[in-house]
Amino acid sequence: MSPAFETLSAVRVTTGQQPPDHHRPWLDSVRPLLDRPDAPDLRPLTLLQPRRGYTPDFLSPPPTGPQARFEDELTRIAATPPAQVRAEIVRSLRETPGAAESATGRRLLLGDPAEVLQLITGLIRTAWTALVEPVWPQVRALLDADVAFQSRRLAEGGLDRLFAELHPMLRWQGNVLTRVCGEDDHRDLDGEGLVLMPSAFKWQEVVVIVDPPWQPTVVYPVRGLGTLWPSRSADAPTTDGTAALARLIGRTRAALLTGLNSPASTQFLAHRYALAPGTVSEHLTILRDAGFVVGERHRHEIRYRRTDLGTAAANAQRALSR
């Protein structure tokens, strides 16, 4: 796991580069800090992490061990050669239309690479202290649980068992690991090994790092993300309707329904909530029969989305509270 990578990904959530979805409770808790007049300017970190395009590799070198410490990772980032800093920033801004012409982009491009690196490492430290460190114990516990679960799968069934359900965007066939809808990058491991790294804040995407000199790495959304921020008690007042809905249809079905903000397959939902695919399928069948969700074929899989009735049920309490 990588505290620095989680910090950079958290910045994307706070600045709208990545939709909050399951991180909305966390985002609501840090928003007052971000809205203060003296809040740090995180735009350099945001600009270098485009929604589509290249993010400099020096920002998140793959961890060298299973329990990386933030200070050690920041030391590695700060030791990046200035020439590499400049080359990777130039590549990143060139691939994002308009980025190089922005005030922040010009600051990154025209500044001395050593000073730019100092600026970036300072912002990463600030973001870690303000955004991630206060919740790191629970984030780390979820990442630890994922590592233990996947390690057990590997021990029990080898690579076939591990990759079968590591993440729905990954396919394993003929000793080749493929990311669905990925780029055309290719890397023959030749005995180098592959780092597998779960991430909580990079919840939407599977990231593949193949460029030398880094260790080949696959970053995937952590299993059970839907359980990271505990919901409030079913007996406590709520403004989002989740607790009231849970009393009506059950906690698991309520979580699935309220979390279905975009169409998702059974496998995606099973991964997100750390449930067996069969369990998710059973709950979705009940929700479908009740008219709350509908399944639609998308290529090789069925993706479920809320119906108007399902959306109304999920938002009922919010509508009443306005």
Q: Position of tokens 């709350």?
A: 292
Q: From CA 125, how far away is CA 131, in angstroms rounded?
A: 10
- Joined together, the tokens standing for residue 91 give 């590549």
How many domains would you assign to the chain?
Answer: 3
One domain for residues 79 and 151: no
How far does CA 249 lie from the centroid of its chain? 29
One domain for residues 298 and 241: yes
Residues with Cβ < 8 Å from 94, sequence gap 6 or more? 100
Q: Position of tokens 């485009």?
A: 50
One domain for residues 121 and 200: no
Phi, psi of 293 (to 5 degrees): -135, 165
One domain for residues 8 and 132: yes
Name the residue range of residue 62's domain. 3-136
One domain for residues 211 and 275: no
Q: From CA 30, how far away is CA 258, in angstroms rounded?
A: 22
One domain for residues 249 and 312: yes
Model-level pTM?
A: 0.76
| pLDDT by 10s per residue, the chain, length 322 | 999 999 999 998 888 756 667 788 899 899 998 888 888 889 999 999 887 788 898 998 888 777 789 999 999 999 999 999 999 999 999 988 888 899 999 999 999 999 999 999 999 999 999 999 999 999 999 999 899 889 998 999 999 989 988 888 898 998 899 998 766 778 888 888 899 999 999 877 888 888 877 788 999 999 888 888 865 433 333 444 456 677 778 878 888 887 787 788 888 888 778 787 888 888 888 888 888 888 888 767 788 888 888 888 877 644 443 4
One domain for residues 207 and 288: no
One domain for residues 189 and 143: yes
Of the candidates 112, 136, 160, which is a domain's last residue?
Answer: 136
One domain for residues 25 and 103: yes
Of the candidates 178, 193, 222, which is a domain's last residue?
Answer: 222
One domain for residues 15 and 118: yes
One domain for residues 200 and 275: no
